[in-house]
Amino acid sequence: MIQPGANGSRIRLPRTEAGMAGANAGSALRAAPSEESELGRRLAASAECRPRPAGDVLEWLDERRRRVPVEVTRIPFARMTGWSFAPGSGDLVHESGRFFTVGGIHARTDYGATPEWRQPIIYQQDVAIVGILAREIDGVLHFLMQAKIEPGNVNTVQLSPTVQSTSSNYLRAHRGARSRFVEYFTEPGRARVLVDVLQSEQGAWFWAKRNRNVVMEVAGEVEPHEDFAWMTLGQILDLLHHPNVVNMDSRTVLACLLAAAPSMGARPDDGAAATFAEAYASGGDALLSPAQVRSWLTERKSAYTLTTRAVPLDSVDGWERGAEAVSRPDGRFFSILGVEVHAGNREVSHWCQPLLEPSGIGLAALVVRRINGVRHLLARADLRPGCRDTVELGPTVQCTPENYAEAPGDRRPRYLDLVLSRAVQVKYDVVQSEEGGRFRHALTRHLVVEVGGGFPLQPPPDFCWLTVPQAMALARQSYQVNIEARSLLLCLHAM
């Protein structure tokens, strides 16, 4: 395990057991109020600290790619050991009944231009732990990040949370090794909770999937391992300027951690606001009060109906099952395919599984502008078939542009053409990866663009201007802010 030294060198931690932290992880979901008010200051200090340049971390990730043998091969479904299409339904299932299932869904809604459709979707009942260990080193909060192999990663190894594991995995349904460090998140008394909140995943590809986004702080040392390294928030934010480095689960957990500090950017003289001045652009009043923002989202959740029911995969109209893929004849949206994986440092070294492969690079774009001297985001009420609560707050634009290449203007997502035009000022533009354990080469362009004062203050009903702290406040709660918006919120802090 690598600890950053003050002079940029790499220091190996001694192999000692982790110390016991004060609070009981099973007795409190959040830190005490006095500690909450201190969390923003500690996060701001960590964001200012960069004991090693981003290049050192990139070299470490490259070293792990070279040293750990990985082979991911696309295979026909017939060779996908342990998986089969269930008789009668055609659902793609694992022989153990665990992990996940690819089935069908029938959706009806009065939201958007398509009132009814069927599609394949991933059903996964397991609640995954996506957890990061934190520890103060030389008075600065550091985070234990993992160089983790996922079969769907475009570059094999990415910077992942300390633990990224479904209950099927950490309870060893695969009969492999236990997830390293999972005890800090499952055994009371091991560490102190900084944030612990259930959040949704991609509602277009998962049905009602949720993960436990959690950060636990330890007081003592942690058993070192060559696949793990301690990093400050500043180092991680710097890495967000590099494509496909900080994985999706790391981004959502850290966004939830920043949201857990209630004073984060709330005042112009706040330390966090000074550190993240470009993201918050504080100095005046928000356009809407927090109560008005919550009321808008609640009204949008109430404005639409969404009815979904599970249907057999074989009954999904417009999709075909071949020897190597379940896909649409026109190639749009996504495909389901099979892979065989050999990975040297995973709990199981060899396995087969299905993956969902999108048809193109996605786009998650935020339009921002200054109102009363304060940076505001144009958020959208986003409905997806897999949402647990009908609507979540999403980016201004969230789509795969290739799917709309031939669509007429009234069928194209609102503001898509704007964010791709020269009429905006680009503030952030980096391609980031989606989760590699279920998706193959799923890439999303994260885009933040600024518009001038002539852009309307009164947006259409499904859109709302809100400040970064207001969006972060919503992210403290479950199922209010979708995963693409949470990812963009973290990227805003890297601007």
The yes-or-no verdict on residue 299 having pLDDT over 90 is yes
- Whole-angstrom CA distances from 298 to 273, 292, 420 are 28, 10, 30
Q: Which residues pair with 107 in a beta bridge?
A: 117, 308
- Give the range among 19-23, 38-42, 388-392 with minimum mean pLDDT: 19-23
Mean pLDDT on 35-57? 91
CA distance 20 to 190: 5
Predicted local distance difference test score (pLDDT) of residue 233: 97
Mean pLDDT on 448-465? 96
Predicted local distance difference test score (pLDDT) of residue 60: 97
The yes-or-no verdict on residue 13 having pLDDT over 50 is no
Predicted local distance difference test score (pLDDT) of residue 175: 57
Confidence label for 343 from pLDDT (cuts 50, 70 and 90): confident
- Give the range among 44-53, 233-242, 271-280 with minimum mean pLDDT: 271-280
The tokens 């612990």 sit on which residue? 196
What are the φ and ψ backbone dihedral angles of 235, each rounded to 5 degrees?
Answer: -65, -40
- What would the two tokens of residue 40 be? 């923003």
Predicted local distance difference test score (pLDDT) of residue 275: 72
Distance of CA 283 to the CA centre of its chain: 30
Predicted local distance difference test score (pLDDT) of residue 268: 45
Share of residues in the chain with pLDDT > 70 (%): 87
The yes-or-no verdict on residue 165 having pLDDT over 70 is yes
Confidence label for 173 from pLDDT (cuts 50, 70 and 90): low
Predicted local distance difference test score (pLDDT) of residue 172: 54
Q: Are strands 128-137 and 163-165 parallel, antiparallel or unpaired?
A: antiparallel
The yes-or-no verdict on residue 18 having pLDDT over 50 is no
Confidence label for 17 from pLDDT (cuts 50, 70 and 90): very low
The yes-or-no verdict on residue 272 having pLDDT over 80 is no
Q: Kindly report, residue by residue over 185-234, the tens digit of the pLDDT.
A: 999 999 999 999 999 999 999 999 999 999 999 999 999 999 999 999 99
Predicted local distance difference test score (pLDDT) of residue 263: 57
- Report which DSSP code applies to 283: S
- 346 φψ region: left (φ > 0), alpha (ψ -120 to 50), beta (else): beta
Range ranked top by mean pLDDT from 19-28, 172-181, 313-322: 313-322
DSSP string, 340-357: EEEETTSSSSEEEEEEEE
Residue 373 one-letter amino acid: G
Predicted local distance difference test score (pLDDT) of residue 348: 81
- 223 φψ region: left (φ > 0), alpha (ψ -120 to 50), beta (else): beta
Predicted local distance difference test score (pLDDT) of residue 277: 74
Q: Kindly report, residue by residue over 52-90, the tens digit of the pLDDT.
A: 999 999 999 999 999 988 999 999 999 999 999 999 999
The yes-or-no verdict on residue 248 having pLDDT over 80 is yes
Answer with the residue of higher pLDDT: 165 or 173: 165
Q: Kindly report, residue by residue over 391-446, the tens digit of the pLDDT.
A: 999 999 999 999 999 898 889 999 999 999 999 999 999 999 999 999 999 999 99
CA distance 208 to 196: 19
